[in-house]
Chain A
Amino acid sequence: MNDATLMLRQIHPGFIKQGQITSQAFRPTIKDDKKLSVYDNDMITAEKAYEHYTKKLLKSSTGVMAVSVKECSELSLPVVSDPAPFPEHALIDFSEYSYPQSEKLAKKLRQKAVERDWLYVS
């Protein structure tokens, strides 16, 4: 993992309306313990990550977007590998931030991801 590494984020269909993606897709929910789950693109492609997520973990996704490690670092969001669930798993850590701060960061991440466009769409 380096600055250029992309962190792949699965986008739930409930988080898309009229082609627009809610900022919620880029911040952790309460159950996530303030850490956003992503796939490490150095270890898995967007398509394979989608297949793993939907077919092995049996979760819903419309497709895959991504932010780079550098983009996270510029927002003071640490990115760490977390291979416990599966080897390609990583976390973007929002632990230091409260609600309005994490909402701001989510909007910034979404902006970067949307500029990059979908890496994979089912």
Chain B
Amino acid sequence: MFLYGFIFILTSKKPLSGMSSTLNNIEFLSPRLVGERFSGHAIPLEVLRDLAVLEEMLVETAKWEYLHEHPDRQRIPRGFTNGVSLKLTGIDEGSAIPKIALFFTLAGTSLDLFPSDNAHYFHQAKNSIVNAVNAAEQNRDIKEYLPENLLCYFDRIGRSLRDGESLELNPADAAQPARLNKTTRRKLLLASSNVLELTEEITLRGSIPAADQAKMTFDLHVVSGPTVSAPISLQHCDIVKEAFMRYGNGGIVMLQGIGRFNRNNRLQSIDSVEHISLLDANDVLVQLDELRSLENGWLDGEGVAPDKEGLDWLVGYFETYYSDELPVPCIYPTPEGGVQIEWTLNGYEISLAINIDTHQGDFHALNMSNDDEIIKSLDFNKPDDCVLLNQELKTLWEAEV
């Protein structure tokens, strides 16, 4: 388990006389990121993007806190949010757990409400957010702490978190660390009836049957999935055109971006495209995606559909371990719900039958000239065996037949 520590510091410019001011820092919030991806003494920029939205949410929540405390007021005082910002200042050195300090700066100019008074509402806002996340984790009423409109901010906060990752907003409290992860984020969003659609980071593979240059949109027909509309950015125009021209002829793309889902978790459209690239028609990940459309009974009434989590694992295996230098195999479903991967290499017919639930595999290579066989059982739960497959294939590829 790897952790990142943050410090939010409340900084205020306190007026001395007239418009002059000094800078004051107040430690504000120390969340931490938990997950394998944060082990490299660096925070992915996409995660920082999530944290940037926290500033927006804190400001709006502080305004809500103020109005909540002053029901007689119609609006918040002038200058209440002027100069308010959260700032990332650096990484703490000398620690096995790198710390990044975020500064929360407040430059109040209002004569009616000094920054030190504002701070009270920002602290309340922080507590409300922490309490709402805790409520989500403990299946309590989230709206006891935050109104529905503010819950919409969680559409952008925590969106970059992946399976197994979390952002603990209050790690000092081990019992209630306010753990924002995929599950709690979804609960927070669905608690608001204002939220009809949710956005998620997506990685999809598919073909492009239609593109509209006037509207600058294209349709992506997801492998084993729906057809959805996406915007064309100028930098992606050439790839979209090429994939469109090669539709039905191997024009498969991999797209990374932000997808829009309905409350039933069905993809509705693509909000933005960050990366798009053409894939080989027989790309391993495309072949694995194709298996996702199989249903039980796919083999004339027999045939178990491969488990989706098992396929996810196999995708991860290929992304992490399979050497790009080795040839692309053919991937088939097995009647038992597993996957059989096959290569024809240098006179060898090679097959690997994988149980995608247990991550065990039976490797069989047959020299078609002299009937020599190599038979091995591989346990892909063991890193050594994960690497072993590459080694076996490389040896056979380079063998003199």
Contact = CB atoms under 8 A, between A and B. Distances in A.
A60 B300 contact: yes
B362 A24 contact: no
Q: Classify chain A: how many residues form its interface, as a range.
A: 20 to 34
B128 interface: no
Interface stretch (B24-32, B144-152, B327-335): B327-335
A23 B303 CA distance: 16
Contacts of B362: 99-100
B330 A29 contact: no
Given A14-B298, A17-B282, A100-B364, A23 B349 contact: yes
Contact of B287 (A17, A30, A107, A108): A17
Interface string B284-300: 00010000001000111
Contacts of A59: 300
Given A29-B302, A60-B300, A100-B362, A20 B330 contact: yes
A104 interface: yes
A18 interface: yes
B45 to A, nearest CB: 38
Chief secondary structure at chain A's binding surface: helix
B342 A23 contact: yes
B184 to A, nearest CB: 39
Q: Classify chain B: how many residues form its interface, as a range.
A: 20 to 34
A15 B373 contact: no
A7 to B, nearest CB: 19
Contacts of A29: 299, 302, 335
Interface of A: 12, 14-15, 17-18, 20, 22-24, 29-31, 59-60, 99-100, 103-104, 107-108, 110-111
25 contacts: A14-B294, A14-B333, A15-B332, A17-B282, A17-B330, A17-B332, A20-B330, A23-B349, A24-B332, A24-B334, A24-B335, A30-B335, A31-B335, A100-B362, A100-B364, A100-B373, A103-B353, A103-B366, A107-B349, A107-B351, A107-B366, A107-B368, A108-B368, A110-B349, A111-B349
Interface of B: 281-282, 287, 294, 298-300, 302-303, 330-336, 340, 342, 344, 349, 351, 353, 362, 364, 366, 368, 371, 373, 375
Given A17-B330, A29-B335, A108-B368, 16 more contacts: A12-B299, A14-B294, A17-B287, A18-B330, A23-B349, A29-B299, A30-B335, A31-B302, A59-B300, A60-B300, A100-B362, A100-B364, A100-B375, A103-B353, A104-B373, A107-B368
